[in-house]
Amino acid sequence: GQPVITLNNGTYIPALGFGVWQMENLEECEKAVIKAIEVGYRMIDTAAIYQNETAVGKAIKNSGIDREDLFVTSKLWVQDHGYEKAKSAFQRTLNRLQLDYLDMYLIHWPFGDFLGAWKAMEELYEEGKIKAIGVCNFTIEKLEELKPHSTVSPVINQVELHPIFQQKELRAYNQENNIITQPWSPLGNGNAELLESPVLKKIAFNHNKSTAQIILRWHLQEGFCVIPKSVTPSRIEQNFNVFDFELTESEMNMIRSLDTGKRLFFDPKDPAWEEKMLNAVADI
């Protein structure tokens, strides 16, 4: 079997999964997920706001894989925060995925009434409809805000993280609190400067691997649960082919030194971003 990570509630998640953010073309998404399952991925990471849960559901069904062999994650959208709305949004997600439970359900952004949403998720978790619950894009402050209002601790905090932006402080906090860090856009969303970095190229040459594979291996060796996205069959396969080599401690350190401390994407602390998300019109 492939490497798994144990979550704080005793469940397991594959260490490497398949991300489907930015797969707006549903046919392409369905094909990509089928390809991913074919080459061995056993974890799929989607979200209501990606608007491709239907395609993911079809792919799962058509792949012929047994449900219990797959780990399926989705995320609750900001507009569905609050106790009641979260419950019905979860049901709609299940319907679109044609599933009767989720392996993991995450709060997508820590805005609006996420405490009410968490309460609903805790109940769904206790009922067995979700096997593990977690969060995304939570800062230390938001995790501290959630703590006194929760009886179930989040298993994962999914945040922007790649060699350019390594989140050292938040990672340390997650670790102290038994929360697994799950990077989104682990390849920096295909950022050319990253993928063509001379440091990575040199390490890639040493191992006869691509720079993308080196980055994914770095994530795995840091203990992260990583979910690269690709719609390109050869890359889908390549990104899964990272279990047959190991980076040395000195190579790990070379990659650690690429941290600029600057994100490439949205800042959860930016009030303008929060405002935009709270008002984003989403009929999902």
* Binding-site ranges for ligand A2P (CB under 6 A): 19, 185-190, 195, 210, 212, 228-232, 235, 238-239
Min separation Cβ 220 and ligand A2P, Å: 14
Q: Is the dihedral of CA 86, 72, 191, 22 positive or negative?
A: negative
Pairwise CA distance, residues 164 & 224, whole Å:
16
3-state DSSP assignment of residue 131: coil
Pairing status of strand 12-14 against strand 4-6: antiparallel
Min separation Cβ 16 and ligand A2P, Å: 12
Min separation Cβ 56 and ligand A2P, Å: 15
Is 108 annotated in a binding site? The answer is yes
Among residues 204 and 254, whose Cβ is nearest to ligand A2P? 204
Name the residue with the smallest CB distance to ligand A2P. Answer: 190
Among residues 46 and 230, whose Cβ is nearest to ligand A2P? 230
Min separation Cβ 157 and ligand A2P, Å: 17
Contacts of 272 (CB under 8 A, 6+ apart): none
Task: Locate the DSSP E strands across 82-186.
Answer: 104-107, 133-136, 156-160, 180-184
Q: Does the annotation mark 173 as catalytic?
A: no
Min separation Cβ 226 and ligand A2P, Å: 9
Could you say which of 41, 50, 105, 173 is catalytic? 50
Among residues 32 and 277, whose Cβ is nearest to ligand A2P? 32
In angstroms, how far is CA 131 from the centroid of its own chain? Answer: 16
Among residues 154 and 186, whose Cβ is nearest to ligand A2P? 186
Among residues 31 and 87, whose Cβ is nearest to ligand A2P? 31
Min separation Cβ 238 and ligand A2P, Å: 5
Among residues 52 and 230, whose Cβ is nearest to ligand A2P? 230
End-to-end CA separation in angstroms for the chain: 36
Q: Is the dihedral of CA 249, 251, 253, 259 positive or negative?
A: negative
Task: Locate the DSSP E strands across the chain.
Answer: 4-6, 12-14, 18-19, 43-45, 71-76, 104-107, 133-136, 156-160, 180-184
Contacts of 142 (CB under 8 A, 6+ apart): 110, 114, 135, 268
Half-sphere exposure of 17 (CA within 13 A, CB side): 31
DSSP-assigned beta bridge partners for residue 14 = 4
Owner of token pair 């800042």: 267
Positions at the binding site: 108
Positions at the binding site for substrate: 108
Residues labelled catalytic = 50
